[in-house]
Structure 1
Amino acid sequence: MLSRRAKLIFWMSRYLERSNFTSRLLITTSELQLDLSLENEISWKPLLTAMSLNKDYLKLNKKYSEKKIIEFLISNKENHSSIINSLNYSKENSLIVRDILPEQSILKLNELLIKFNKTINRKNSNKKNLKLLSNIIQGSQNFMYSTDLEMQRNIDYQFLGLGRFIERTDMLIRILQSQTLRSKQHKKGYEYLTLEWINILKSISAFQAYRQHSKKDISILDIIEFFLKTKIFPRSINWNLNQIERAIFRISKKNDLTKNIKEIQRDVNNFKVKSDDLDNFLLFLEKIQKKIVNLDNLVQKKYFS
């Protein structure tokens, strides 16, 4: 496989997954704002910080405003991680590698872009923005469902999955960071904090799976454990690390990347979560994220240089 084509498939998948999870983050933050009536800075700044976009946002805006942050993350072309840029990058890459993608996948991606461009509007109400974000989540999932059902399990498919799972792992860590930062900042009671963490589960469609998995009373500690360590749920960090390892093995059985993945897996499985020590949890998430970034850099160097 040409390294250029592998890179295009990898990044097409990553950009689409990024648009999906950015949409989820925006929806859950909007819902938390509505339920708990938090100040804009307390509610929205952690989201920008977790996504490493705080400085970029403040270059364009003086204050934290729900409306401006939503616009910045959805439609601002100066923000390299905005949804509009992620979708356009994904589309551009797909045009070059369309010969190896299922016809239905191309149609699903085209439908997503057409619907997005028709409904995007700076003057959208919160209700319309939530509908727009839900369409993005559904559209990106439709694309992935199609590739899962119709693509051969060849090397093209492995690079598609590798991009998806690296991006998803990164975004799951950012979701945990944003909520942990938010929990540290406001002084609501424990029941409000638990409600926030439940909303975070719902944002990744994980609440039902969590309740089936855990027989304990709902607690922040238990939710974090589920996010980190569950081995059989596709949106836990542990599960996605296993998928990264599997994709890399199928791309090249003999490689030196497996040891990096296993090291991250050990860190995740050995970490002892303490709900009263959020600073330590944030340090742990930062450490894991740096290792994911390093793994990503090694993937880029090994396969795409």
Structure 2
Amino acid sequence: MLSRVAENIYWMARYVERAENTARIVTVNANLLLDLPKGIAPGWRPLVDITGANPLFEEHYKDYSERNVVRFLLADERNSGSILAALMAARENCRTIRDFVPREVWELLNEIYLFAREDLPKGMTKGGRHAYLKRVIQGAQNINGLLSGTMLHDQGYDFLHLGRFLERADMTTRIIDVRSANLLPEEATELRPFETIQWVSVLKSMTAYQAYRRSEQIRVLRGPVLRFLFQNETFPRSVVHCIDALRTSLSKLPRNESALRVAGRLKRNLEGTEPRRLNQQQLHAFIDDLQVGIGDLHEELARTWFPPPPESQSQSQTQD
């Protein structure tokens, strides 16, 4: 397989996953603000914190108002993590490799991109936002299902998996890091009645609430939620499940030794830590280490299998 094709498949998968994850966090935040009393509700800035795009946001917007943050995350093409920009990038990567993916995937991706662009005015309104984001999420899931059911499970599919699960692991760690820190401070004992709402919102950001209840069979608490999202091997959005999926795909590729070593370090870090025992500062340091490892794995993939970018190439495809 040509390195250019492998890279395009990888980034197509990452951008589809990115668009879905962005739609998820905006949906859940809107619902969370309805559940928490005024004065302790986190507002909209945490969503930009999750993406790590604060410098870009502050360059173009005056404040973290609902309108500004929603526009930044849904429509701002300068933000590679926005829904519109991610779908546009996924579509462009897919366009260049149409011989390697089923035609129906190209048609579906084109359809969801056109919907996201043309219905954007409705998505920017409070009344139309939920339906807009739900359609984006379902579109991304349909694309992934169609790829799983119709694409040859060859090396191209392995690179598809690498893109999807690397992006998913990165977003899961970001959601946990920001949400666990920015909602209800540990020392605010008077806010304990709202702690469950906080952690339910973390689970719902990843559609993990029902799976958590079935797996843990206890009420929603910080420690069990952290254990579930980091270390439950059977939940598709947990960090360890993503790392295991990455290792499985890497094991099928040639010249995989360096990448497998990086993935192995990530797995050992997860296995050697009990997240539920970490205070907020320790949890943040633990997640920082994981995110550095995820970035290192992306760099190793690029060095091993992707062509070196020309000096003039845009920096939009970066490890955010």
TM-score range, shorter-chain basis? over 0.9
Identity %: 27
**Deviation, structure 1 residue 110:** 1.8
Which residue does 2:297 correspond to in 1? 295
- Picking from 256, 264, 287, the partner of 2:258 is 256
Aligned length: 305
Which residue does 2:20 correspond to in 1? 20
C-alpha distance 38-253 of structure 1, shift in aligned 2 (>3 A): farther
Counterparts of residues 84-103 of structure 1 (less than 5 Å): 84-103=84-103
Which residue does 2:313 correspond to in 1? none
Q: Which moved more, 1:174-183 or 1:10-19?
A: 174-183
**TM-score, scaled to structure 1:** 0.94
**Deviation, structure 1 residue 46:** 2.4
Which residue does 1:45 correspond to in 2? 45
Instruction: Supply the distance in 2 between the matched residues of 1:98 and 1:121 (Cα, whole angstroms).
Output: 30
C-alpha distance 163-39 of structure 1, shift in aligned 2 (>3 A): farther
Check the 8 A contact 1:11/1:163 in 2, yes or no.
Answer: yes
Counterparts of residues 1-305 of structure 1 (less than 5 Å): 1-38=1-38, 42-121=42-121, 124-185=124-185, 187=188, 189-252=191-254, 254-274=256-276, 277-305=279-307
User: Secondary structure, in 3 states, of the residue corresponding to 2:93?
Assistant: helix
Check the 8 A contact 2:105/2:146 in 1, yes or no.
Answer: yes
**Deviation, structure 1 residue 185:** 4.8
Check the 8 A contact 1:24/1:137 in 2, yes or no.
Answer: yes
**Deviation, structure 1 residue 39:** 5.6
1:31-86 superposed Cα distances (whole Å, 9 cap, x missing partner): 11121145699332222223111121111222220111010111012222211111
Structure with higher helix content: 1
C-alpha distance 27-255 of structure 1, shift in aligned 2 (>3 A): same
1:246-271 superposed Cα distances (whole Å, 9 cap, x missing partner): 11111227522112111111111221
**TM-score, scaled to structure 2:** 0.90
**Deviation, structure 1 residue 121:** 1.5
**Deviation, structure 1 residue 275:** 6.5
C-alpha distance 153-190 of structure 1, shift in aligned 2 (>3 A): same
